[in-house]
Amino acid sequence: MKNNKLFFVLLLTFLLLSVGFLASQCSQSNKKQSEVENECVGDAACKSCHETEHDQWLASDHFKAMQVANDSTVLGDFNNASYSADGVTSRFFKKDGKFFINTQGEDGKNHDFEIKYTFGYYPLQQYLIEFDRGRMQVTRQSWNSRDNKWFHQYAGQKILPNDWLHWTGNAQNWNTMCAECHSTNLKKNYNFETDSYNTTYSLLTVSCESCHGPAKEHINYIGSAAYKSGNKEKGSYMLMPKNSSQHSEINTCFPCHARKSNISSKLLSSGELMDDYIPEIPSTEYYYADGQVNDEDYTYASFLQSVMYKHGVKCSNCHNPHSGKLIIAGNGVCNQCHFKKNYDSPEHTFHTVGTDGAACKNCHMPSKYYMGNDLRHDHIFREPRPDLSAKYGTPNACNNCHKDKSAQWASDAVVKWYGPERKYHFADDLVPGSRMDLPHQAHLLKLINDTATPSIIQATAVHYISNINDNSSLQALLQQLNHKDAQVRYRAVTGLAGFSPSQWLGSISPLLQDKVRAVRIAAANLLITANGPDRVSDFGEPFTKAQQELNDYILYQVDFAAGNVMAGDYYFKLRNYAKAEEFYLRGLRKDSIMNYARLNLSTLYNITGRNTDALHVLQQAAKTDPKNDRIYFNLALLYNEMDDQNNVELNLKKAIELKSTNPRVYYNYGVLLQQKNRPKEAENQYQKALSLAQNDLDINYAICTLYLQQNQPEKAIPYAMTLKKHYSGNEQVAQLLRQMRL
């Protein structure tokens, strides 16, 4: 077992984060350009020809996304009203015709803040405050425009001024978090050196050109002799003309209606979403295990799972794009297509017509409240599955209404109404596939190899299977590098980070020239991670170009706290440790409780021989988040390197007490116990590790060796056979198998 030495490795959490920025750009049309440079001209230029659509837009949420604060736009009570909650008392008043809020500032004391803009309209309205360095911040105090009262975002939480979530902090910064989806043709214009913004936009709110692109060429064309003579140009130099395809609508709507990160300020506008954005997949980081939305995830990843998407349904089939309202009220919007069977009846719904239980959306689009009072429906369009809830604890639409009943009660009702058999859904495999505590690889392979699986779910399965470090997973990832969907290719590339470069190097270098920018960036990042800055030049001009795109992506995010950690990781991999330290510390200044920055910073200090600093940073992390098992694991690794075995064991025990799901915690504790000649306890820890990673090389090798040392070769055989199946090419494994005559 590697000369019986304790096998600890201090790991750096390299994160290629999806920071969650949302973007809506006034993009260039892909049509041929006229001699005059295309520009945004404003909604007034559209009204004369498109008066009906313009009037609908004036009543829409898009029009009211952001407005100058005045008596017509402000909905909240500013007549010396006050509101106290979560340890903060705020007062709302007017002075000299302006609106003010007196509330807790970034120094912890109350100050008067002038409201410059309204943000949103219904069911809630927030307010924007101008700060120094071009920043605008969104107030925590929000107006419930449904019930006409003040309330707090993050109700019930006492948020301190140094917290990232405090309304003066990075999480509530308009320039970074909100602006691109509430204004037209927004340019963030962040200056890294001064940590300041010069943010600009063509129109304050979401206007015609947010969706249709800049209109100057269109207007010139409509007024031209060529147009009047009947020389028609398809699309008339506009994006999203009438009767646009599903693909066009998705590319137009989902840059804002998706949880994703922006790749660069330089939009390619190619028609491929992942040339400009990296959308989140429905993994358990933000979604429930069956793919239902959990966090504030918007609609993109949900809709791409759905049968509606599969059958070509597009946004405008249900929504009027100018008013934002349903084109037909109630169940009528569904009955446009679902009319052959009488679904809108008690024979199907088992609820009285006209009641909430008979509404299609309440069963097939389960809802959840966000931002305190905003009820949003999940665009997954699937049958309720309370049987999965009873088995795995996932939510279901039935118990959304029947909160006083159990999931089993709901499951029994479904069986009574619709029979005992449920039609197969990918969630039947996705849920167990997401569970590290269950045998899950076969479920993931089924999803990956089944062509009927939605691509976004295949991408999620690829993401999960990358955590199983064996040959079957490796082959699955390599096969997906040629998948037609960029989301799957991207996740396959990022998933290979846990495998030896010798196993994938020849397969990755061609992806430096992939047709999609997100995939090229992921390939460049993986090659740097595996090869270091000294060897990447071997990949020539394709790598140089892809790395420049990666560099743009990294530096575009550095106004954001997590973006600084991403930049720190990037420079760490380039071995520019001074720059990496600068970004980690900068990220912590923006978010003092961002502990993965401390974990990575401690690794940097360890690698550069500053173990005292590394220990101090990890101790700070433990004080900030005492229930984070990863911190104690890293402390154990560091104490091991510092030859403090008592603290090694204490911190491994702490990580285990916190129910760590990291198999290396149990593996390393098993190694320690084995070295201390406590074989039964070591066996117990190895078994726990195997329950989380049943085919892992090191764990199977360790327990096999333990049994051989205890003269129990018959117990060692099953683990030796696992090694033979998955790692027969490994020399250490081959030597063990020869020793056991297998």
Q: Which residues pair with 258 in a beta bridge?
A: 298
Residues 50 and 144 in one domain: yes
Instruction: List the alpha helices (DSSP H) in 351-504.
Output: 360-364, 386-392, 397-401, 407-418, 427-433, 441-449, 455-465, 471-480, 486-495
- Is 334 inside a domain boundary? yes
Which amino acid, 283?
S
CB 716 within 8 A of CB 707: yes
Residue where a domain terminates, one of 400, 419, 438 = 419
Q: Are residues 56 and 203 in the same domain?
A: yes
Flag whether 539 is in a domain: no
Task: Please list the alpha-helical segments (H only) found in 264-344.
Answer: 300-303, 307-310, 332-335
Residues 337 and 415 in one domain: yes
Residues 196 and 91 in one domain: yes
Q: Is residue 507 part of a domain?
A: no
Which secondary structure element, helix H or strand E, spans residue 505, and what is its range? helix 505-508
Same domain, 392 and 309: yes
* Encoded tokens for 402: 């029947």
* Distance in angstroms (rounded) separating the CA atoms of residues 16 and 277: 13
Asked if residue 536 lies in contact with residue 573, where contact means CB atoms within 8 angstroms, the answer is no
Rg (CA), the chain: 28
Question: Rounded CA gap, 103 and 81, in Å?
Answer: 12
Say yes or no: 193 and 292 in one domain.
no
Taking phi over 0 as left and psi of -120 to 50 as alpha, with beta for the rest, 90 belongs to beta
Report yes or no: 305 and 380 within 8 Å, Cβ to Cβ: yes
Residues of the chain predicted below pLDDT 70: 1-36
Give exposure, 20-43, as e/b (b: 16+ Cβ within 10 Å).
Answer: bbbbbbbbbbebeeeeeebebbeb
State the residue range of the domain holding 54.
44-210
Same domain, 54 and 189: yes
Please count the structural domains in the chain: 2
184 close to 206: Cβ distance less than 8 angstroms: yes
Question: 634 in a domain, yes or no?
Answer: no
Residue 324 in any domain: the answer is: yes
Residues 304, 201, single domain; the answer is: no
Residues 6+ apart with CB under 8 A from 231: none
**Does some domain include residue 172?**
yes
CA distance linking residue 735 with residue 682, whole number of Å: 23
Distance of CA 677 to the CA centre of its chain: 45
Q: Tell whether 302 and 380 lie within a shared domain.
A: yes
DSSP 8-state symbol, 280: P
Q: Are residues 128 and 52 in the same domain?
A: yes
- Is 479 part of any domain? no
Name the E strands within 501-642. Answer: none
Domain boundary residue, one of 185, 210, 235: 210
Each as own residue / partner, the long-range contacts of residues 621-625 (CB below 8 Å, 24 or more positions apart, any chain) are 621/595, 624/592, 624/593, 624/595, 624/598, 625/593, 625/595
SS3 assignment for 12-50: CCCCCCCCCCCCCCCCCCCCCCCCCCCCCCCCHHHHCCC
Classify 90 as helix, strand or coil.
strand
Q: Is the pTM of this model over 0.95?
A: no
CB 257 within 8 A of CB 435: no
In a domain, 414, yes or no: yes
Structural domain ending residue among the three candidates 391, 419, 447: 419
204/67 same-domain check: yes
Give per-residue pLDDT as tens, 506-549. 899 999 999 999 999 999 999 998 877 777 777 889 999 999 99
194 and 90, same structural domain?
yes
Partnered with residue 293 across adjacent β-strands are 287
